[in-house]
Amino acid sequence: MLNRLHKEFRDMRGGRMLTVMGRDIVTVALILLLGTGLAHGWPWSSDMVKQPSVKPQTAPRVSPPESVPIQGKEPSIDRIEAGKKLHNPVTSTAVSIENGKRLFNTYCTPCHGPEAKGDGPVARKFVPPPDLTLEVFRKRPDGFIYETIKDGGPLMPSQGEALLPRERWEIVNYLRSLQQK
């Protein structure tokens, strides 16, 4: 009787020892698996990252040495001066007015409204712009309006970054057609 109990106890202990060993093996395997996944330190885990490409959100590619700009930069001039000096190189054709309309509706309508009356949806939350069809704005030279689009006004933010010079003149042409209505 005592012998049998003793033997059962030994079996139980043996069994428990086995489960303990089993658990240890699983833990070690988990550490190894997760550890390898999380470790970026392995020499091969960054192979594809180290390459001579432009990464997202980094400065644009530097021009090759000794390269020369072919278009130059548009200088910022005073709006009154621009009104005297700059002449609209884009003839006011149906096509240029149509392009100007598309651009005006994208960049100007939010504040100025579709008819340039100053009733765009942003105007209610920002400073309401004036009605651009009034005589005072009809008399502004094309160059003045061009420079206003490029550099902004005392309150109007500059729209220069988004638009090419040709596109700004097309907007001027469209605004003129709105003013003639």
Which residues make up the interface to ligand HEC (CB under 6 A)?
107-108, 110-112, 122, 126-127, 129-130, 132, 137, 140, 145, 148-149, 153-157, 159, 171, 175
Nearer to ligand HEC, 12 or 80 (CB): 80
Cα torsion for 46, 52, 58, 62, to the nearest 10°?
170
**103 contact partners, CB below 8 Å, separation of at least 6:** 163, 167, 170, 171, 174
CB of 175 to ligand HEC, least distance (A): 6
Nearer to ligand HEC, 82 or 132 (CB): 132
Report DSSP state, residue 124: T
CB of 106 to ligand HEC, least distance (A): 8
CB of 110 to ligand HEC, least distance (A): 6
- For 177, the enclosing helix (H) or strand (E) is helix 165-179
Nearer to ligand HEC, 28 or 134 (CB): 134
In angstroms, the CA 8 to CA 14 distance is 10
Nearer to ligand HEC, 97 or 149 (CB): 149
In angstroms, the CA 158 to CA 59 distance is 22
CB of 178 to ligand HEC, least distance (A): 10
Chain position whose Cβ is nearest to ligand HEC = 153
CB of 87 to ligand HEC, least distance (A): 17
Answer for the pair 110, 126: CB distance below 8 angstroms, yes or no. Answer: no
C-alpha distances in angstroms, 139 versus 37, 85, 180? 69, 16, 12
Nearer to ligand HEC, 15 or 110 (CB): 110
Report DSSP state, residue 56: T
